[in-house]
Structure 1
Amino acid sequence: MSEITQLAQLSLAACAAGFLLDFFFGDPAWLYHPVRIIGNLTAFLERHLRRGTGEGKSAARMQILAGGILWILTVLLSFSVPALVLLAAYRIHPAVYFLTETFWCFQIVAARSLLSESMKVYEKLKENDLDGARKAVSMIVGRDTENLTAEGVTKAAVETVAENTSDGVTAPLLFLLIGGAPLGFLYKAVNTMDSMLGYRNEKYEYFGRIPAKMDDLFNYIPSRITAVFMIAAAFLTGQDAEGAGHIWKRDRRKHASPNSAQTESVCAGALGVRLAGDAVYFGKVHKKEFIGDDRRPVEPEDIRRAGRLMYVTSVLVLLFFGLVKLLICAAV
């Protein structure tokens, strides 16, 4: 067995083990998360690269350039540092490599934390604690939540589970399966920079343009792969797979992002509800198209259904592409 093949097999085993660890333990609050390092690095580079770029439209080119430099430096460091650590770990012993990468894969996948946070919303809704539900959902969505109705809170939770099935779970899994923890951290860096800088406002219109566009690019294929597997998951969980496929084909482009409506449309079709529509961000109403058909009112139980859909989708992605990687390893 060649060294490359052994590394690929160890990486695949670490990815599967990391996914299982996430399933059982989630993201412990006491454990320092490497994504915080990426966030701190992004904030540090932003402070220094913004100097001298000026303000307003006259400085647009300089801000776009500075944002691009920030993006390049962040992804290079996010990939190279874990790659060098893993290389050193492998030189010590393959078992050290496996344990190190397993731990990182465990931290990169966010299925359990997504489910746990959405279930906090569900529990508050079941207790008829609307204020508590608003506070809980504010932890996982970017929109203003203080005036949401119970239905609005429920929709927001379902939408974020559907969208983050790709961003937080299957996309990281795909990058982990392709390039191990280094590529997984590179993806998390792309995702983190978009969440910090990818706003369409005066401050980030130009500086955050490249981070936002690159996030769209990196998620373009994973979001579509996830949508297809989510339709299969709808069938396996006893939900409306035919409706999921129909709404996906019809509504998958009804979003300002080229990727967000891919999984959201599948989820809406599988549940038989209507999602999206206008939302308030920082006190301003943003007009959005509806996704799905209003066949029945959204209900708290839909949060649990969306969570099951997320988990089955992620298991299907892991099994399918893990098998593909095994076959490739066997062939080389």
Structure 2
Amino acid sequence: MATPTSGSPAWSVRRSTSRRSRGSPASPSREPEPIRHAVAVLLLAVALDLALGDPPNCVHPVAWLGRALGAGGRALRRGGPAALLLGGALTALGAAVLAGLGGHVVGALAARLEGLGALVEALALACLLSLRSLAAAALGVKAALAASDLAAARAAVGRHLVSRPTATLDAGHVASATIESVAENLTDAFVAPVCFYLAFGLPGAAVYRAINTADAMFGYREGTLEYFGKVGARLDDLFNLAPARLAGWAIVAGARLAGESAARAAGVMLHDRRRTASPNAGFTMSAMAGALGVTLEKPGAYRLGRGPLPAAADIARSIRVFAAASAVSLGTAIATAWALSHALR
């Protein structure tokens, strides 16, 4: 029996080159081996991420990507609009190529390690997910707010979760920024990497994280970043079109599982999803606002939902919705990949 290449797309199907004789009985129906391998690796990666969280930055592939992107920015972020646009494109695409090659090398190595291959691939994939560390960062902000330590809460949300200035945020806007990050990162740190892994293997998930990191670092409409970050931002918008919508509806379903209002989550998402500059972020953030019955607001940028600004306790509620939505989206992505693997047989 052929062994699937580690890191190969889950929907890829190997067709036998031999012909069954007309008189021989049909072999029992079997699931395509690549999808079984991919699902096993994915579930192991999720378990590893939940158990261990993010590795130290010195051995974290996404941190390596950040350093590579930073070097590209320092070298190429200069000149007029055309030069900035080209430099930004080279930086983002160069990081994506490096990430894809890295994913391919790890996948090829895993394929040669027999029984340990799945573990090696799962460890690499786990580094591209972030469930435990995201929840821990959000709960750290919650703890500071609950202790009425606004300065510590501002520092924590600015250090771990958002890039906006936090020095003047009140408690409600600190909690809002935290919940917004939890909701948006359901797409960026979980649903999209899972989808890209199932569709394109480990190289696909790595390429996604490279583009997403480029957008996080450079995708701002200010100064030279208006042009330098444009290609990365547009690619991130494109890559997240389907995952963000899956994540938004997963929050609706997750709200019901977490004891919140699924109907309100759906209503607010459908009403407010286009109020953000991003074509994707509004889906998850507005769904979360509706699920919790609060308003999520970035002053001067958007206001999502109807209700008061959130408090510390609402951060814990958002984590429960996030956890349920993660399970829903994982099951949906696996079921879709499984169905496609059958359709393409």
**Fold-level similarity (TM above 0.5):** yes
Distance 1:38 1:30, change over 3 A: closer
Q: Counterpart of 2:68 in structure 1: which amino acid?
A: L
Structure 1: unaligned runs, 5 residues or longer? 279-286
Asked whether the equivalents of residues 223 and 263 of structure 1 are also in contact (C-alpha less than 8 Å), the reply is: yes
**Residue among 264, 286, 297 paired with 1:265:** 286
Asked whether the equivalents of residues 145 and 153 of structure 1 are also in contact (C-alpha less than 8 Å), the reply is: yes
Distance, in Å, in 2 between the alignment partners of 1:311 and 1:157 is: 15
Query: CA deviation digits over 1:169-202, x for unaligned, max 9?
Result: 2111211222232111111101111111112121
Distance 1:195 1:49, change over 3 A: same
Distance 1:289 1:227, change over 3 A: same
Which residue in 1 is equivalent to 2:51?
24
Query: CA deviation digits over 1:121-171, x for unaligned, max 9?
Result: 111111111111111111211111112211121111111111111111211
Which residue in 1 is equivalent to 2:19?
none
Which residue in 1 is equivalent to 2:326?
314
The alignment's TM-score, normalised by the length of structure 1, stands at 0.89
**Residue among 135, 141, 148 paired with 1:128:** 148
Distance 1:242 1:27, change over 3 A: same
Q: Counterpart of 1:129 in structure 2: which amino acid?
A: D
**Cα offset for 1:312?**
1.0
Q: Percent identity?
A: 33
Asked whether the equivalents of residues 124 and 132 of structure 1 are also in contact (C-alpha less than 8 Å), the reply is: yes
The alignment status of 1:160 with 2:181, answered yes or no, reads yes
SS at match of 1:206: helix
Distance 1:330 1:259, change over 3 A: closer
Asked whether the equivalents of residues 184 and 285 of structure 2 are also in contact (C-alpha less than 8 Å), the reply is: yes
- What RMSD in Å do the two structures reach over aligned CA positions? 1.9
**Residue among 225, 233, 242 paired with 1:212:** 233
Structure 2: unaligned runs, 5 residues or longer? 5-13, 15-31
Residue correspondence of structure 1 range 103-114 to structure 2 within 5 A: 103-114=123-134
**Residue among 118, 122, 126 paired with 1:98:** 118
Distance 1:317 1:60, change over 3 A: same
Which residue in 1 is equivalent to 2:296?
275
**Cα offset for 1:89?**
2.8
**Residue among 221, 224, 230 paired with 1:203:** 224
The alignment's TM-score, normalised by the length of structure 2, stands at 0.86
Which residue in 1 is equivalent to 2:21?
none
Distance, in Å, in 1 between the alignment partners of 2:57 and 2:89 is: 33
Residue correspondence of structure 1 range 71-82 to structure 2 within 5 A: 71-82=92-103
The alignment status of 1:291 with 2:304, answered yes or no, reads yes
Which residue in 2 is equivalent to 1:47?
74
**Residue among 248, 264, 280 paired with 1:243:** 264
Which residue in 2 is equivalent to 1:193?
214
Distance, in Å, in 1 between the alignment partners of 2:104 and 2:55 is: 24
